[in-house]
Amino acid sequence: MTTAQAPIHLAGEQAAFARGGNRLIFIHPEDADACIKVQRPDRSPARKRAERRFPRNLRPLRHFDDNWQEQRVYRRLQHHIGSASFDYVPRLHGPVATNLGPGLCSELIRDDDGAISLPLKQYLWLHGQSAALTAALAEFHRGWQHLGMPSRALLLHNLVVQCQGGVPARIVVIDGLGWPQPLTPAWWCRPLARRKARKRLAGLQRAILRLLEKRERNEPYGVHGWLEEAGRDRT
Ligand SMILES: Nc1ncnc2c1ncn2[C@@H]1O[C@H](COP(=O)(O)OP(=O)(O)OP(=O)(O)O)[C@@H](O)[C@H]1O
Ligand SMILES: [Mg+2]
C-alpha cells in the first residue's frame, strides 16, 4: 500500500519572502534553491473570476489559477522552444501540496553570494542603470528575441537581476510567461513570435525609462516588487 505524502509545511503567510499581486512566495523548507508559490488567500481563483465581466466570467476556474496557467505555459515552452528557455526563465519542478493549499515549485534565483536576486524594478531604484546592467539587459534582449519567448507585458517586478561578484550577470523572467491568447499562431510561427517578443522588449525599455524618471523626480516606488534585505536569505 502506498501512503500519500504529507503536505509540505510552510510557516504561515508572514514567512513568505515575497508577495506578488496574486501569490505568496516561500523558500522550499527542504531545498534552499527552490521556491514554492501558493495563491494568496484573498486572491482565490473564485474571487478573481467573480471580478470579471461577461463573457470572461464563464471560463473554467482553472483559468484564474496562476499556478495552473504557469504549468500549461511551461509545457508549451518545453514543446515549442525547449531547454534553451532556461537561460531566461527558472526551471519548473512541478506542483506540490502544502498546508497553505496547492503550490507550484520552481528554481529560486539567487546571486552567487546566496542572496535571493532582486527584482529589476528594485535594482534600478537602488543602483540606476549601471554599465553591467546595460550589458546584462542587452544579452537578455538578444536571447529573448532570438527564441521568440512568449510573454505578456514584461513588468519590472517580474524580472530579476542575478548578480555575480556584486554585478548584474543575467536577467531572468520569473512571472508573466505565455501569450495572452492561448491559441495564437505565434506558438507555431517563430517569425511571428520574434516580432511579438520585440514589441514586449520595446515595452520593457520604455518601462525602465519611466521608472528612472520617477526615481529622478523622487516619486514613490509603488506597491509592487520590493524585497526586504532580511528576506533575501543571505546564508
Ligand atoms: N523563481 C524566483 N526566484 C527569485 N525570486 C522570485 C522567484 N519567483 C518570484 N520571486 C519574487 O517574488 C515576487 C513575486 O513573485 P510572482 O511575480 O511570481 O508573484 P505573482 O503574485 O504571480 O505576481 P503578480 O503581482 O505579477 O501577479 C517577484 O517580484 C520576485 O521578487
Ligand atoms: Mg509577478
Task: Answer whether residue 4 shows pLDDT above 60.
Answer: yes
Average pLDDT of the segment spanning 15-36: 96
How many percent of the chain have pLDDT more than 70?
98
For range 161-166, the mean pLDDT: 98
Residues 6+ apart with CB under 8 A from 102: 38, 39, 67, 95, 96
CB hemisphere CA count around 177 (13 angstroms): 29
Looking at every residue in the chain, the average pLDDT score rounds to 95
pLDDT more than 90, % of the chain: 89
Q: Which residue has the cell 510573454?
A: 151
At residue 121, does pLDDT exceed 50?
yes
Give the whole-angstrom CA distance, residue 146 versus residue 197: 9
Cell numbers placing 107? 528554481
pLDDT at 98: 98
Condensed to tens digits (0 to 9), the pLDDT of residues 133-142 reads 999 999 999 9
Band the pLDDT of 235: cuts 50, 70, 90. Answer: low
Mean pLDDT lowest among 50-59, 112-121, 164-173: 50-59
Q: What is the pLDDT of residue 1?
A: 47
| 194 vs 144: CA distance, rounded Å | 8
Provide the pLDDT confidence category of residue 88 given band limits of 50, 70 and 90: very high
Report how far ligand 2's centroid is from the alpha carbon of 20 (Å): 5
Residue 234: per-residue pLDDT: 82
pLDDT tens for 166-194 read 999 999 999 999 999 878 999 999 999 99
Residues with CB under 6 A from ligand 1: 18, 20-23, 25, 35, 37, 66, 90, 106-109, 116-117, 119, 157-158, 160, 174-175, 224-225, 227
Which amino acid would we find at residue 51?
E
The model's pTM? 0.95
What's the rounded Cα separation, in Å, for the pair 31 and 108?
A: 10
C-beta separation of 159 from 168 below 8 A: no
Contact 119, 133 (CB under 8 A): no
Question: Which of the listed residues 17, 19, 23 should we mutate to test ligand 1's pocket, taking the one with most ligand atoms within 8 A of CB?
Answer: 23
- The per-residue pLDDT for 75 is 97
